[in-house]
Chains A and B, each alone.
Chain A
Amino acid sequence: MSETVQLFVTCIIDAVFPQVGRDVVEELERNGAEVEFPADQTCCGQPAYNAGHHRESTEVLLHNLEVLDRTGGPIVIPSGSCADFLIHHGPRLASGDPENAAMAERVAARIREFTSYVSEQRERASVEETETRDRSPTRRAFYHPSCHALRGLGLRREGESLLESVRGVERVEIEGAEECCGFGGLFALEMPEVSTGIMNTKLDRLEEAGVEMLVGADAACLIHLEGGLRRRENPMQVVHIASAIATGRKDRP
Chain B
Amino acid sequence: MSQPVTFRRRAVGEMDTPKPAAVGRAARRFMGKRQWAVDDFTPMEETRDRARMIRLHTLANLHTYLDQFADSVERNGGQVLWAADAAEANRLISEVVGRKEGSLVIKSKSMVTEELDLNAHLQAEGHTVVETDLGEFIVQLAEDHPSHIIAPVMHLTRQDIGELFHRRLEIPYTDDPEELNAVARRHLRRFFLSADVGISGVNTGVAETGSIITVTNEGNGWLTTAAPRTHIAVMGMERLVPTFADAATIVEVLARSATGQRLSVYTNVVSGPRRPGDPDGPDEFVVVIVDNGRSRVLSTDASEILACIRCGACLNVCPVFREVGGHAYGQVYSGPVGSVLAPGLADFAEAVDLPFASSLCGACREVCPVRIDIPKLLVHQRVRATRENDPFKWLGPGLALYGQAAKRPRLWKSLLAAGRMAGRLKGKDEWFHRLPFHAKGWTRSRDFPPPARESFRQWWKENRSGT
A contact residues vs B (CB 8 Å cutoff): 9, 11, 13-19, 21-22, 25, 37, 39-43, 45, 47-57, 59-60, 62-64, 147-148, 150-152, 176, 178-180, 182-201, 223-224, 226-228, 230-231
A-B contact pairs, 26 of them (CB 8 A): A17-B449, A18-B454, A39-B461, A43-B412, A52-B385, A53-B395, A53-B399, A56-B399, A56-B402, A63-B406, A63-B408, A148-B362, A151-B362, A151-B363, A180-B359, A184-B359, A190-B8, A190-B356, A192-B441, A193-B11, A194-B8, A196-B445, A199-B445, A201-B319, A230-B431, A230-B447
Q: Is B333 an interface residue (CB 8 A)?
A: no
Is B445 a contact of A52 with CB atoms below 8 Å?
A: no
Please, how many angstroms separate the alpha-carbon atoms of A199 and B408 in the complex?
34
- A53 and B396 CA atoms in complex are apart in Å by 8
When distances are taken between beta carbons in the complex, the residues of chain B under 8 Å from A18 are: 452, 454-456, 458-459
Pairwise interchain contact B407-A53, C-beta atoms closer than 8 A = no
**Which of B355, B390, B403, B442 is within 8 Å of A192, CB to CB?**
B442
Bound Cα distance A143, B357 (Å): 26
Whether B465 sits at the interface, judged by CB under 8 Å, is: yes
Residues of B within 8 Å of A228, CB to CB, are 445-446
Q: Which of B8, B399, B454, B456 has the most CB of A within 10 A?
A: B456
Distance in angstroms between the alpha carbons of A189 and B362 in the assembled complex:
19
Max chain B Cβ within 10 angstroms of own Cβ: one of A59, A178, A191, A231: A191
B451 near A39 with CB under 8 A, answer: no
| Residue on A nearest B366 in the bound complex, by CB | A151
- Assess the B459–A227 pair: CB atoms within 8 A: no
> Do B383 and A54 have beta carbons less than 8 Å apart?
yes
Residue of B with least CB distance to A43: B406
**Bound complex: CA A107 to CA B355 (Å):** 29
Main secondary structure on A side of the interface with B: helix
User: Which residue, B360, B386, B431, B464, has most C-beta atoms of chain A within 10 A?
Assistant: B360
Q: Cβ of B456: which chain A residues have Cβ within 8 Å of it? A: 9, 13-15, 18, 21-22
Q: Which of chain B's residues have a CB closer than 8 A to the CB of A198?
A: 319-320, 323, 359
Most A Cβ at <10 Å: residue of B381, B408, B445, B455: B445
- Interface contact B457-A147, CB-CB below 8 Å: no
Q: Which residues of B contact A180 (CB under 8 A)?
A: 319, 359, 361, 363
Docked pose: A47 CA to B319 CA in angstroms: 20
- Complex interface: chain B residues within 8 A of A184 (CB): 358-361
Which residues from A are CB-within-8-Å of B451? 15-16
Determine whether the beta carbon of B449 is less than 8 Å from that of A227: yes
Per-position binary interface string of chain B over residues 295-321, scored 1 when its CB falls under 8 Å from any chain A CB and 0 otherwise:
000000000000000000000000110
* B361:A39 contact, CB within 8 angstroms: no
Contact with A along B389-407 (1 / 0, CB 8 A): 0101001100110110111
Closest B residue to A54 using CB positions? B383
- Is B15 an interface residue, CB under 8 A from the partner? yes
Contact A187:B444 (CB < 8 A) given known A15-B419, A18-B456 = no
CB distance from B414 to the nearest CB of A (A): 12
4 pairs of A and B residues whose beta carbons are closest in the complex: A184-B359, A56-B403, A52-B382, A192-B441
With A151-B362, A189-B442, A198-B359 given, can you name 15 additional A-B contacts, CB distance below 8 Å? A16-B449, A21-B459, A51-B386, A52-B381, A53-B395, A147-B363, A151-B363, A187-B358, A187-B359, A192-B442, A193-B11, A194-B11, A194-B15, A196-B444, A230-B446
Q: How far is the CA of A230 from the CA of B395 in the complex (A)?
A: 26
Q: How far is the CA of A198 from the CA of B446 in the complex (A)?
A: 13
Q: How far is the CA of A193 from the CA of B15 in the complex (A)?
A: 9
Q: Output the least CB separation between A156 and chain B (Å).
A: 13
Q: Which residues of chain B are near A190, meaning CB under 8 Å?
A: 8, 356, 392, 395, 441
Q: B356 to chain A: which residues have CB within 8 Å?
A: 52, 187, 190-191
- Give Cα distance in the complex from A201 to B24, angstroms: 10
B365 lies within 8 A of chain A by Cβ = yes
Which residue in chain A gives the minimum CB-CB distance to B387? A52
Contact present for A199 and B446 (CB under 8 Å): yes
Nearest to A225 among chain B residues (CB) is B446
**With a CB–CB cut-off of 8 A, which chain A residues contact B383?**
52, 54
Closest to A25 in B: B464
Q: Does B7 contact A (CB under 8 A)?
A: yes
Residue of A nearest to B460 (CB): A37
Is the pair B446, A224 in contact by a Cβ cutoff of 8 Å?
yes
Please tell me if the beta carbons of A40 and B361 are within 8 angstroms of each other in the complex.
Answer: no
**Is B324 engaged at the interface, CB distance under 8 Å to the other chain?**
yes
Does chain A have a CB within 8 A of B266?
no
Interface centre among B322, B358, B361, B383 (most CB of A within 10 A): B361
**A48 near B452: Cβ-Cβ < 8 Å:** no
Any A CB within 8 A of the CB of B99? no
B269 to chain A, nearest CB (A): 37
Q: Does B12 count as interface, using CB distance less than 8 angstroms? A: yes
Residues on the B chain within 8 Å of A176, using CB: 28
B26 at interface by CB-CB < 8 Å: no
Q: Is the CB of A50 within 8 A of B360?
A: yes
A187 lies within 8 A of B323 (CB): no
State in angstroms the CA–CA spacing of A147 and B366 once bound together. Answer: 11
Q: Is the CB of B8 within 8 A of A191?
A: yes
Contact present for B386 and A14 (CB under 8 Å): no
- Could you mark each residue 401-441 of chain B with 1 if its beta carbon is under 8 Å from any beta carbon of chain A, else 0? 01101111100100010011000000000010100001101
Residues of chain A within 8 A of B386, CB atoms compared: 51-53
Taking the nearest CB of chain B, how far is it from the CB of A53, in angstroms?
5
Chain A residues whose CB sits within 8 angstroms of the CB of B457 once the complex forms: 9, 14, 37, 39
B362 touches A55 (CB 8 A): no
Residues on the A chain within 8 Å of B323, using CB: 194, 197-198, 201
Please state if B446 and A231 are interface contacts (CB–CB under 8 Å): yes
Check A47 against B399 for contact (C-beta < 8 Å): yes
Whether B446 and A39, one on each chain, are in contact in the complex, defined by CB atoms closer than 8 angstroms, is no
Residue on A with the closest CB to B7?
A191
| Chain A residue at minimum C-beta to C-beta distance from B450 | A16
Contact in complex: B454, A231 (CB < 8 Å): no
Bound CA–CA A62/B430 (angstroms): 36
